[in-house]
Structure 1
Amino acid sequence: MNNEHFNEQFNDRNVTGDYYLVDIEDYPTDGWAKFKRVVKRTLRGELFVGLGVVLREMIKFNTHTVKYPLEKMPIGPRYRAVHQMKRLWESDTERCIGCGLCEKICISNCIRIDTKLDENSRKEVTEYSINLGRCIFCGYCAEVCPELAITHGGEYENASDQREHFTMYQDMLTPLDQMKAGKQVEFEGFGAITPHEDERVKKTPLAY
């Protein structure tokens, strides 16, 4: 099939065979004709049907309105919101080892991490910040972390009056009082603790 034969169906401009004209009244031009059109549409009942739907929804007692911020919609455990830094469940120390993989894989270039060597020649995180103004919450930083140190929490209220809205390491880290109370949220999968683990695991003498 050559191109000329293929384009014959597009070269035919006669479209009267497949279309039909819709009977539409002429638009009114003077004031009296416009008034008659309003009266006709009103008496037809279309206006009262819409008002009836509104009144029916207003008098319903099972309203679906959420009284925000006193009430919030439930969020799934895998929702990617503001980041959280986890602690070791056994010794309450930080899980982050300062490898820098989260900073390298961040496609929006919003993670900054600085490390140093402590007195035991172990890497220690000195500064860790995430620019939430640039973050697109893709979750790559949480997926690449070998220690499951960084995850996404359910805190999605990150509005700020500054364009550069940074979140520091201490703000994301689980507080010690919540950690001791067992309130740190763990995720199912690799590295997550199993139920009733506190009855089976004994603390080691080493602080890591």
Structure 2
Amino acid sequence: MNNEQFNDRDVSNGYFLVDIEDYPTAGWDKFKRTLKRSFRGELFVGLWVVLREMIRFDIHTIKYPEEKMPIGPRYRAVHEMKRLWESETERCIGCGLCEKICISNCIKMDTKIDENSRKEVSEYSINLGRCIFCGYCAEVCPELAITHGGEYENASDQREHFVMYEDMLTPIDKMKAGKQLEFEGFGAITPHEDERVKKTPLSY
């Protein structure tokens, strides 16, 4: 391979020159150019398109934030902490798997032993400024306690935007109304799982 093909600097092959008129300097020439461009037809085509859409009243836009686009059930937005349907207590058992698997190191958890000698979560926070919404925390959770909800408006005026445990936990009134939505993504319960449940004797 030689360098002769690179020495040829003629790049005009396959190109054509555009006939560009000289820029008018006189006022009369500028006025004639304006008239020529205005009555060429493109202006009226654009005006007709706008008028046609106004007459139709077919609104293509969404009145945000009053109206929002529907999102899929597996959309990974701001986290939610679920409660148990039977006792309305927190599902989180404080195992710390979500904190360990978090690749952006945005989950901080602290647990303590309550009066019944059971582990409970005392402090839990997620730094949404660091979170990349990968979904690993929801996937590794054995109790399906932490999920990704549909609330994607997490703008903040601070760089350190934390979400505390109480803010993510499902409210009691929402639980009583039966409005807690179950997660349909990774690790979710299959539709016919209740039929497969077997009662086992308790030895304690």
Contact 1:117 1:123 in 2 (8 A): yes
Scaled by the length of structure 2, what TM-score is found? Answer: 0.83
Residue among 94, 100, 118 paired with 1:98: 94
Residue among 14, 20, 30 paired with 1:34: 30
Contact 2:85 2:175 in 1 (8 A): yes
Match of 1:85 in 2: 81
Do the aligned partners of residues 46 and 141 (structure 1) sit closer, same or farther apart at CA in structure 2, a change above 3 Å counting?
Answer: same
Which runs of at least 4 in structure 1 moved beyond 4 Å after TM superposition? none
TM-superposition CA deviations, 1:3-26 (whole Å, max 9, x none): xx1544333212233322222222
Identify the range of structure 1 (67-76 vs 174-183) with the bigger mean alpha-carbon deviation. Answer: 174-183
Shift of residue 194, structure 1, vs aligned partner:
3.4
Distance 1:196 1:55 in 2: 56
Do the aligned partners of residues 144 and 200 (structure 1) sit closer, same or farther apart at CA in structure 2, a change above 3 Å counting?
Answer: closer
**Aligned Cα root-mean-square deviation (Å):** 2.9
Shift of residue 193, structure 1, vs aligned partner:
6.2
Contact 1:82 1:153 in 2 (8 A): yes
Match of 2:16 in 1: 20
Q: Secondary structure at the match of 1:59?
A: helix
Match of 2:132 in 1: 136
Amino acid at match of 2:115: E
Amino acid at match of 1:64: H
Would you say how many aligned residue pairs link Structure 1 and Structure 2? 200
Shift of residue 57, structure 1, vs aligned partner:
1.5
Structure 2: 5+ residue runs without aligned partners? none
Distance 2:81 2:67 in 1: 26
Distance 1:172 1:32 in 2: 69
Residue among 191, 195, 200 paired with 1:194: 191
Structure 1: 5+ residue runs without aligned partners? none
Contact 1:106 1:141 in 2 (8 A): yes
Match of 2:55 in 1: 59
Scaled by the length of structure 1, what TM-score is found? Answer: 0.81
TM-superposition CA deviations, 1:6-65 (whole Å, max 9, x none): 544333212233322222222223322221111101111221111111111222222122
Contact 2:79 2:147 in 1 (8 A): yes
Identity %: 80
Contact 1:83 1:152 in 2 (8 A): yes
Match of 2:162 in 1: 166
